[in-house]
Amino acid sequence: MFLSFVTNLLEPLSYLIFSIALFVQLNIFKKTRIRVLFIYNLIATVSLSYASWLAHRSMNNNYIYNLLYLPAVIAFCFYFYRAFKSKKNKRIVLGVLVFNIVYFLARLFLSGPLELLDSVAYSLLSISVCFLSFLFFYVILSGISENKIWHQFDFWLVSALLLYFLGSFFIFLMYSNLTYNILSTYTNEQRKSLTILWGVHNVLLFLSSLTTLFSSLWISYRNR
């Protein structure tokens, strides 16, 4: 029961928590970049709830993840594009966005719909978000400001994203390869190992969502 919750239900729950945290911030700051992330997380919540239902019925749900890759790229790149002020950093974000879109289109036209999770796509997404997160921290730490960075929601949000994507990079990288290697046998033990691996991914996502929610509520309390 607990393993089923972690592997099937914890993921959409985490995106719901992200949505709540972002909604709280929208009521305070009404920033477009937060609104875009909020919409993406709502879409992910609904889509992955359906994916969890498919998994519960032992049906293939990988196409949902593969379709969510492009909205994720657009939402995160838009967030960082609006968060950065310098034209140089904005051009870097656009370069990252174009690179991911080109890969998505190339994979779509050359490979067609994938029955397995596209590990390369999500590995690229992880690298992209981690790179932009480190660039974000470099910018805010090298700048001079009277405001403490831990009083800013962006600081906690980017920290949560870095925690999730940095921790999940190797899971994304290995998941499809491991699945391909065991397709011929796919015993209950092998299936359980993959399930536990994805459960670790979901735990990282859940911790990131809780970090975002607690920071959002704390900042909301401070701004009353």
Token reading at 203: 């735990």
Q: Is the pLDDT of residue 4 over 80?
A: no
pTM here is 0.90
What is the pLDDT, as a whole number, of residue 16? 97
Whether the Cβ atoms of residue 131 and residue 186 lie closer than 8 Å to each other: no
Percent of the chain with pLDDT over 90: 60
Q: Is the pLDDT of residue 94 over 70?
A: yes
Q: What is the mean pLDDT of residues 91-120?
A: 87
How far is 98 from 103, CA to CA, in rounded Å? Answer: 9
Q: Computed from CA positions of residues 169, 175, 180, 181, in that sequence, does the dihedral angle turn out positive or negative?
A: positive
Q: What is the mean pLDDT of the chain?
A: 88
Residue 189 or 135, more confident: 135
Whether the Cβ atoms of residue 179 and residue 195 lie closer than 8 Å to each other: no
Q: pLDDT, tens digit, for every residue of 169-214?
A: 988 887 766 766 665 555 566 667 777 888 899 999 999 999 999 9
Whether the Cβ atoms of residue 126 and residue 165 lie closer than 8 Å to each other: yes
Domain boundaries along the sequence of the chain: 2-222
How far is 3 from 150, CA to CA, in rounded Å? Answer: 34
